Each structure stands twice: as structure tokens, then as C-alpha cells.
Chains A and B, each alone.
Chain A
């Protein structure tokens, strides 16, 4: 059907009027959202959506915000999992997993990076062997965000060592609730421990939890990463300010957030907290310092122009132009902005920039910014990898000569 803004608003309003109850059980409400298609309206009708164009999602969000209605669960990797299953999963998998992703009952993580394969994701050496009706998994993953809260993981592993590396990979859904899976937290330079090491010791994946066919792993992982890049920066949902809205459902939501958002509390800081710059510059008087002024203005210009670039990309897509490389451009812009923001926060703080803790600038937030920004240009694909993607796919520049094209077992490893 053709959607218009008024049609969306009218239909959604009447749905919310009839169903929204701030004292409902969180789970009941989310199931209602899933059944109605108002949870993920841009998804296909068959799978809990309404086939609505992306361009109208902001209208939906506005209507939810207007009355403080709680949305489906969005925090973390869950939507990457859902999008990947929508694109490559089979109906049984969609049936089994999508609903509980959206209700928040089940939490996911991304088991891609390994000690020996980070940027070079296709170099995975986690072993998958089919024995009877189960895949037996052995090996190790690392930097796995939120694995300590996960029920399931998106797993990339190797089933064939005799073919070139991209061809020997398969993609699985790994259940964390089993003996063969061990999760060890990893402490980060900013003191948090939001990522983990995950060890597989004869872990099992039922055959029915393989996504796609043998050898499809690389292509499916690309889908996941494309969604990750596109969502860079808003993969977590900041605890919404509920302000004046009251009801027991918000208490349940807050309880859930306490757990699900725990690994992401420092994510706003790693993006540089541009929002704090002007208030801090005014409060400290740095706004009158000629050097600080220049750096602050550079930051404002960069971040404004990046916002407008994202809007241009979205508008182009709405006009039916194909999805471009904006994800990579946006991710690179985000790194530049975060680094410039760290420079500016340092200029504003002066010698106080070396202090941490409650007594330090913004009660420790500035210290956390300075110690978290280095992650943004690594996580989700490094800046260098984004530059490779941009130069090759957008600008049409040549690929580097490769040294890893033969059978994977013969390729040099660290």
C-alpha cells in the first residue's frame, strides 16, 4: 500500500490510543507492537512490519515520543542480528528469533573478530565441523561487545581450509547457554569492560541454526557490517528521558536498560560529546581564547556539515538513488569529529585535562571522553579500512596486490 504522512499519523494514533497503557506489562506491550507491525514499520508485513518506507519512520518516532510510548527493544547488536536474519535467514529462523529480539527477551552479540583476524575478517580460524546434525565449534573470538549479556551470537567460522579464504566461511547462530562456551571480560583503557573474549570448546550449533549455505559466511557478514556502519553511532539507544510520563512500564524499562545499556554507557563519550563543547567553553571563558575559538569553530563546522551530508544521503535514497558509500564516509567523519572534540575538550580544560574522577571536569565525563575517543576509529572497521572502501568503491581506485589468494591453509598468519 502507498503510505502518506497523514495516513501513518492517523492510523498510528488510533492504534496508540486504543492500546498504549503506561501501566501495562512491558512484555505484553512489546508483543502487541510486534503483532501490529508498529514496532518495526519498515519491515515486511509478513515479518512484523508494515512495508513502510524509511522516510516515514521519523513520523512514527514522533508519535511514540509525543505520548511517551515505549518502543520495541533496540539496544545493542539485536537489530543487526534481525536485519541479517531478514536478509539471509530462512523462515524457521525468522519465526524462532525475530520476535524475541524485538520484545527484548533475548540479547545478541557479534562473534566476528578473532585474535588473528580483525580488519582481515575473512582470516577467521574458528573451526566449524559438521558431525551428524550438529556443527562443532572450536576456537576463540575477541572484542565481543556485550557477550556477557548475550543469549545468542552471530558467528563467523571456517568450515573449509582448502579453498581461498573468503570461500571457506559459514555463518551461524550460536547459543550461549551451553557448556562449550566461555566468556571472559576484557578491561579497556577507559576502565570499562564492555567487550570480552569468548572461547569455544566443542560448542554446538544445530544444523538448523546455520544461516545460508556453506561458503555464504563472508557475504552474510558483509550484510551485518553494512548495517553496523550505517548505524554507526546509534547502535545503542540512549536512555530516553521520560520526563513527565509516569507508569509502571517505565520502571520495567529502566530495569532492562540497567542491564542492556551497561556496556554502552561510555559510547556517547567516545563520539566526543560535541554537545558539551559550547556550554563548557562559555562557562570556562575558553570561548574568548583566540586559539580555542578556532578549534571550537572547526569542530562545529565539521559536525554541522557531517549532519547535512547524512541528510543529503538520506534524501538521495528517498529519491530512489542507490545506497552509496555514505556509511563509510559517515563513519570516517565521526572519527574526525570525535578526535577534534577531544582536542577541544583538552584546550578547554587546560591542565585539568589530566584529572579524572568526580572532582574532575564534568564529574569525570571529560576524562572519559579523552580515554574513549580512541575506540571510535577502530570499532566496527578501522578508519584505514573505511578509506580503502571509499577509495575503491566510490572513487574506483585500484586494489592493492594481494598475498592471500591461494588455499587458506597456505596463507601466512601472525
Chain B
């Protein structure tokens, strides 16, 4: 991306991911998986690694990655969001990989990242706890003497994960920023249970840790801004996934409006419908611009990233949720049925809207970071 336009290579990547997902992530397959205990298709998931080679898009080549930038990763995510592809890609290849990349020692990265990038190991980040349901930074749980006890909620793909990256403060310096710790899902002190979500295409669970021995990622005295950066990167990734879903909703609404006839004419000739769609297009385009700009900021190591991450997630939240609600309205009664596909994206919109911060939280934080905004 030359800051504001995708390169030919990036467009080709988009094209090949779209083609793959059109073949392997059909809505009928997704509907089957909604009733499956794992919630994803291991075969098509493995194809991301073997066929598409996108297991470690943004990871350095020495760790088994493709050595591309966050922009390429976000292109992949946008396509997954568009296709509503149910998979642990976000939890393992993005969030857990980011935590390792940001904080791990060379040895830790060399050991784990290649496994994640090849799909050989599923990892996830255990972040939420009772104290931080609205503010992810408000972590209270602590690791004492290399051992962790506590319950983490809303852990993505918790029941299929083979390895947990636990976010907790270090007992001895609990005033400092949260740190990242590794735990193996085979540890007898770990108990996972699935949590029922309105969005069956993205699995969540609750994980309780009872005296589980954990390994600190990175050195004891490391850069404590890493946690904030992890959260910003996660918001940017999710925002890019979300704008893909919003775009799908708009396209399917327009297609439906062109075919549905009432009062002797297609409803797409009625201004109440047309103008809704025009407004959606504008809102989605603005949200895409926010998401793309933030992805580029990650790639450039731009100091304005924190601000752009807030902009991207808040804009994506609002655009996706509005698209979802309007898409159902445009479909009329059929839009409220289980058989119509719109609700699948509606549910993803809702779960994504509240994951990693609602718009209100991001807007408030944006103004806290105001000096950044003005300086840039």
C-alpha cells in the first residue's frame, strides 16, 4: 500500500484469498459448522497454510512467516470478514502471534511462531477477566512465583486452543503494565468450557487456571508499552475484518433490493431504500479508510498508531452494526428469518462491536490521546 492505494501484489493476494474462501467457506458449510463442537473446518483451515501460505503473513521469514506487512494481514482479514469464515485464524495467527512477536525472546519466538504459522499449533490469548469487561487495560489478575490462578472469560477459540497466552500482571510489580505468559493447555490446572455466544461463527470460552505454571514472554525488564501496542494491533486487525463483513451486507442488500418487486417496481427504485444504501456506502467507505490507514500505520511503525487504532475500531463498529441493522430492514420479513443469511453477519457484527472495545470506549480513549492527534 502506497499509504492510500493497494499495490498490485496486495490486490492479487486479496483475489486469491477471496477465491479460496468462495470455494471453501460457503454459507451452507458455515451453517453446518455453527452446530459443530469445534466450530471450524480443519481441512479448509489447513488449506490456508498449505495452499494459500497465509499462516504467518506478517511474521518474519526466520519464524516461518511470509515476511509481509500488517497491511497484507489486514487484506486477508477483510476477506475473511466478508466471507464470515469461521476459524481460529484471528485468535491464533493474529492475536497470539502478535503477543509473541511483540514480547517474546528470540528463543520463544523461534520455538512457537513457526508452529503457529504452519498451523501445527493453535494458540489463543486469554485477556478478559471480571475487572476489565469494558476496559481491556484494567487487568487485575497476577502471576506469583511463576504460577497463575484465575478465570479468564471471552477467550477466543478457548476449547480448541493448544496453548494459551495469558495476560496478567507480575505479582512483584503489579503497578506496571500487564505482561504476557505462556501456558500449555495440557496443564491439569486448566479447565475450559465453551460460552454460548450469539455469534456461533466465532467461538468463545471461559478458562480457569488453578495454580498453573506459566512462562513469562520476554525478559523481566522489558518495554512496558507493549501491552497497549498489542491491544492497538488487535483493534486494527478486527476493524479490518469488520469492514469486509459490512461490505458484504451492503452488496447483498442492494442485490435483494434490485430483485424484490413491490407496488409494481423494484424496491431499489424507492428512495427510502436507495438513500439508506447510499448512506451505508459512505459510512463503510469511511470505515475502510480508517481501517486501511491504521493497518498502514502498523506497517510504518507510525507513532500515531494508537490514535488510528481508536479511529479504525470505532468507525468499523458503527459501520458494521448500522449495515447489519439496515440490511435486515431492507430485506423486510425475510430478513428476520433463520433461513436468510443476513442474521449470520448481524451476529458477527454484534460480537465484534463489543469485543476489544465499544465505540464509546474508543472515542473516549481517542480524546485521551488527543495530543497525538494534534501533533500528527
Contacts and interface: CB of A to CB of B under 8 A. Distances in A.
Interface of A: 278, 287, 290, 293-294, 296-298, 300-302, 304-306, 308-309, 311-312, 314-316, 318-319, 329, 332-333, 336, 384, 386-388, 390-392, 394-401
Nearest to B255: A396
B370 A278 contact: yes
16 contacts: A297-B366, A297-B367, A301-B366, A305-B315, A308-B290, A309-B285, A316-B5, A387-B274, A390-B281, A391-B274, A391-B275, A391-B277, A395-B277, A395-B281, A398-B266, A398-B268
B374 interface: yes
A384 B271 CA distance: 9
A397 B277 contact: yes
A218 B4 CA distance: 35
Indicate the member of A300, A302, A305, A395 with the most B CB atoms within 10 Å: A305
Contacts of A278: 370, 373-374
B275 A384 contact: yes
A300 B268 CA distance: 33
Contact of B364 (A293, A316, A398): A293
A314 B2 CA distance: 12
Given A296-B367, A301-B314, 7 more contacts: A304-B311, A308-B290, A311-B4, A391-B268, A395-B250, A395-B278, A398-B258
A392 B274 CA distance: 8
Interface in B305-353: 311, 314-315
A384 B279 CA distance: 10
Contact of B286 (A300, A305, A318, A387): A305
A314 B4 contact: yes
A300 B274 contact: no
B271 A388 contact: yes
Contacts of B270: 400
Contacts of B132: none
A332 B283 CA distance: 10
Given A309-B289, A315-B4, A298 B363 contact: yes
A189 B289 CA distance: 36
A414 B118 CA distance: 70
Contact of A293 (B288, B289, B367): B367
Contacts of B278: 332, 386-388, 390-391, 394-395
Contacts of B362: 297
Contact of A329 (B257, B277, B282, B363): B282
Nearest to B7: A319
Contacts of B286: 302, 305-306, 309, 333
B173 to A, nearest CB: 31
A301 B291 CA distance: 11
A355 to B, nearest CB: 26
Kindly list the 3 A-B residue pairs having the minimum CB-CB distance in the complex, ordered from nearest. A297-B363, A315-B5, A391-B274
A387 B275 contact: yes
A302 B273 CA distance: 23
Nearest to A391: B274
Interface of B: 2-5, 250, 254, 257-258, 265-266, 268-271, 273-275, 277-279, 281-282, 285-290, 292-293, 311, 314-315, 360, 362-364, 366-367, 370, 373-374
A314 B257 CA distance: 31
A400 B269 contact: yes
Contact of B315 (A296, A301, A318, A400): A301
Chain B binding site: helix, strand, loop or mixed by DSSP? helix
B275 A293 contact: no
Contacts of A388: 271, 274-275, 278
Q: Which of A290, A297, A300, A399 has the most CB of B within 10 A?
A: A297
Contact of A333 (B282, B311, B315, B370): B282
Instruction: Kindly name the residue among B2, B268, B364, B374 whose own CB sees the greatest number of chain A CB atoms within 10 A.
Output: B268
Residue of A296, A318, A390 with highest tally of chain B CB at under 10 A: A390
B265 A398 contact: yes
Contacts of B3: 311, 315
Contacts of B281: 329, 390, 394-395
A397 B292 contact: no
Contact of A332 (B250, B282, B290, B367): B282
B364 A308 contact: no
A312 B4 contact: yes
B243 to A, nearest CB: 11
A333 B283 CA distance: 9
A75 B270 CA distance: 39
Nearest to B250: A395
B366 A300 contact: yes
Contact of A390 (B4, B266, B282): B282
A110 B287 CA distance: 35
A398 B269 contact: yes
Contacts of B257: 397
Contacts of A318: 5
A316 B3 CA distance: 11
A302 B286 CA distance: 7
A58 to B, nearest CB: 13
B269 A294 contact: no
Nearest to A312: B4
Nearest to A292: B367
A399 B274 CA distance: 9
A386 B281 CA distance: 12
A300 B289 CA distance: 14
A287 B364 CA distance: 10
Nearest to B294: A308
Nearest to A389: B278
A329 B278 CA distance: 9
A35 to B, nearest CB: 35
A299 to B, nearest CB: 10
A290 B363 CA distance: 10
B314 A312 contact: no
B323 to A, nearest CB: 13
A336 B278 CA distance: 13
Contacts of B366: 297, 300-301
B294 to A, nearest CB: 10
Contacts of A401: 265, 269
Contacts of B363: 293-294, 297-298, 301
A395 B5 CA distance: 21
Contacts of B265: 398, 401
A398 B258 CA distance: 7
Nearest to A333: B282
B268 A397 contact: yes
A396 B253 CA distance: 12
